[in-house]
Structure 1
Amino acid sequence: MYPQLSISTLLNSGDLAQSLTALLSGDRYRVTQFSSENELFDFIELEKQQIDCLILQASSNLNSLVEQLQRRAILLPAVVLKSETATRSHESEQLETLNPTESILPAPNTAQIHQTSLSCTYHIATVEVSITEVDRMVQLIHQAIVQFLKLSPTHHTPSLQPASDLVAELTSQNSLMLQQRRLTEKLKERLGYLSVYYKREHKNFLRYLPPDEKQKFLKKLKSNYSNIVLIYFSGEEQLNQKIDDFVNMAFFADVSVSQIVEVHMELIDEFSKQLKLEGRSDDILLDYRLTLIDTIAHLCEMYRRSIPRDF
């Protein structure tokens, strides 16, 4: 059983609340829903050390809640659901401010719009999306946590205090660092291997790398695997560490099992050609199927224990 993430919501729509309850049902989430700003704020004051993410629906009353949280230096991962009309309206305002040269540029894709055009009223790591994307809530929660953990203490939120109010700013920065440390430790303690998932960067995935970087990565991956093969039956103590290093490299680049098999086959084929040139039998290479099985087993276990089952 996966340990639970604690989610608190403030939603105006009953249908939306029901949808979220269905989406986050199961043993991975503990959802506490509120329809009143005061009830949510009181709960946050008491339970902020236990809340892993806020889900808020944009409304005319949301700003007052955000201002209270900012004034009291309460910073938490957050997802804000905005109406589709409001999202389009904001994007139209952004386009109207462009000069003629800018207006002929290609329009950004949806992902870029979400990152750059929606206003961040709570802190800059807030994930703000259209309410139509509620079906992606599991991914959005994970994104909010990732961005929050990367939030810089010196650049996190629009200041509501005068620039000269150093005490207020330092209090806010300290609160952020404490929350980040608390959440990081909580993920490690409660989620174990699952916390590793939050450290992965999609931009570093093998399939997203430019061709030259991809070839460089595969060359390094093959070299590391070759080192494992060469000492696999030697009994060296370094073997387990080399396998772990190889698996970590593959995991953070989201390398598939089929690609690992391909690396193995290419390497064994090279060894076979070399043995034949030396006039020796390549039958011994069959034993290295154990190397492949062992490595894949480690990699599969890493994926099994690390990636949320919701994905």
Structure 2
Amino acid sequence: MIIQVHSGNTAYFECFASETRLRMIELLNVRPMNIKELAAELELSSAIITKHIQKLEDAGIVGTESLSGLRGRQKVCRLLPDTVTLQFRTPEAKDLRQYSVSVPIGQFSDFQVKPTCGLTSEQALIGMVDDPRYFSDPERVKAKHLWFASGFVEYRIPNYLVGSQNAQSLSLSLELCSEAPGYNENWPSDITFSINGVVIGVWTCPGDYGSQRGAHTPAWWNMGTQHGLLKTLAVRSDGTYLDGIYLSGTTLSDLGIRYGEDLRFRIASREDAEHPGGVSLFGRQFGNYDQEIEVTVHY
């Protein structure tokens, strides 16, 4: 998760200006807790804790879920991001313009997958589980969560550059994790990312997350995997970065971006990888982050 340092994100940074909120983050790093547990631990009233949680929730730092308890409903809180990178400036920021595109996870243009696999909208399964044929079903465009044990899905990203405009940086933000039968939070998977047939990097996801319901996952969904991790890929003139950390030496010039040609973004789990642990993808109304594959091109 990358946070740009500017005045528009003041509310986000205010979350860290309170010792109480920092203590709450420390406690939620250990385990999810409800409002009363946090209040008891910090020796504050539930009303005060609720106000602090609201601020953290608005900033996307904490997710909450209302669950049944012994004495009625309880609001359970959990920490959302694993890592946050502060971006003080983008490359050559003073000269850059940009365009952004939100690519729904169901609108892949090519695929090759093997079970376990499947797709679902926010309302119901699309076709049958573990039958790759349904990745060709016209209803696939409604998918908000999809998964496969091996293979790939590929998306076409529109290229709106014209004339002498040249891409200076390309970033892609998406929520994903491994794919284990049911779920297994200790299930590493080497996930390969490619653009225009060029590998930009391989990330090993630690697991397939199902012990805690996703902040946006529908209540009816009970098939194991609940959410993923939010990861941001950035391809620049000096290499490719994952959440601000150097991932590979692949640069924009290696991608062969041409006028009038879409960018082809592929997400793959190779059978010959050291950890062939599959892929699960999440879109809006599923997982912990209410977003699709978010793409920004600076030029």
More helix by share: 1
Q: Same fold (TM over 0.5)?
A: no
Under TM normalisation by the shorter chain, which class is it? under 0.3
More strand by share: 2
Q: Which has the larger radius of gyration?
A: 1
